[in-house]
Copies of this chain bind each other. A is one copy, B any other.
């Protein structure tokens, strides 16, 4: 029997690839601006590149659990349809923030909305499941 959540899995993989690309950008900017590890402070361009990666890490800890709770309590296809907005939003966020701190809002907002929908959807589905099992 095939794994029942392949689309949610593929959205997860795409998100991880976006996240890995951001980590590689931190490595590149460390070399370009001469901010060798383990330093975590430096010129503005370094800080923005670092924050893109770190803020996405912070966001993944909301997004990935929300995505999977929604998939498991609802349906693979719906989770993937909402979830696909997240990696796209984070690419927009990164490209904006790499230019200037002021250009990070659009991508950030789309990502938060997608995460919020998954959280609210999960909450409803989990309450219904709890009532069905324990009620």
Contacts and interface: CB of A to CB of B under 8 A. Distances in A.
Contact of A16 (B41, B51, B66, B127): B66
A48 B37 CA distance: 8
A129 interface: yes
Copies in the complex: 3
**For A61, A62, A122, which residue has the most chain B Cβ atoms within 10 angstroms?**
A61
Q: Which 6 A-B pairs have the closest CB atoms?
A: A6-B130, A38-B47, A2-B129, A6-B129, A38-B51, A2-B132
29 contacts: A2-B128, A5-B72, A6-B126, A6-B133, A7-B130, A9-B73, A9-B129, A10-B130, A12-B69, A13-B66, A13-B69, A13-B119, A13-B123, A13-B126, A16-B61, A16-B62, A16-B65, A17-B119, A36-B101, A37-B104, A38-B47, A38-B50, A38-B51, A38-B97, A40-B50, A41-B41, A57-B57, A57-B58, A57-B61
